Structure 1
Amino acid sequence: MHATEFDLYGVFVPATVVWMLVAFAVTAALRAALVRVGFYRIVWHRSLFNLSLYILVLGAIVALVWQAPS
């Protein structure tokens, strides 16, 4: 069974919020790396690209969590 909520000192936090925070941190690291290598020079709309990157990372994290044996 997968965790749907995490107990954080008596406050129940949905697992989705935790996954979103992890995805945000991973996306921030990826964006910093992309800036360093100059990737954004070929990106047409940086904000849309960043949103798409975040959604892809979040989807990958959720897929990995739900595929992992419990």
Structure 2
Amino acid sequence: MPRDIAILEAYVPTLLLLFIAGGMITWVLDRLLAMTGLYRVVWHPSLFRASLLVCICSVLGLVAFH
């Protein structure tokens, strides 16, 4: 996979695009988890959301650069 992607003649790092995709995936999962009521049993919801974003972005990065 290329390290940079050209978008409108500007080079954008691949990790930035993966981070944006991970943020959107995290947002969708967050809405689903909120609807199911999982946050009632989570000790710190903000920390859970942040760790979910880190895990998803890490998995996307590993898949993209493997």
Aligned to 2:4: 5
1:64 aligns with 2:40: no
SS of 1:19 mapped into structure 2: helix
Q: How does 1:35-50 map to 2 (within 5 A)?
A: 35-50=34-49
TM-score calculated relative to the size of structure 1: 0.89
Q: CA deviation at 1:64?
A: 1.1
Residues 29-69 of structure 1, C-alpha deviations (whole Å, 9 max, x = no match): 100000010000011111110000000000111111123xx
User: Percent of aligned positions with the same letter in both sequences?
Assistant: 24
Q: Which runs of 4+ in 1 moved over 2 A?
A: none
Residues 8-47 of structure 1, C-alpha deviations (whole Å, 9 max, x = no match): 1111111110000000000001000000100000111111
The gaps in structure 2 that reach 5 residues or longer are none
Aligned residues: 66
TM-score calculated relative to the size of structure 2: 0.95
The gaps in structure 1 that reach 5 residues or longer are none
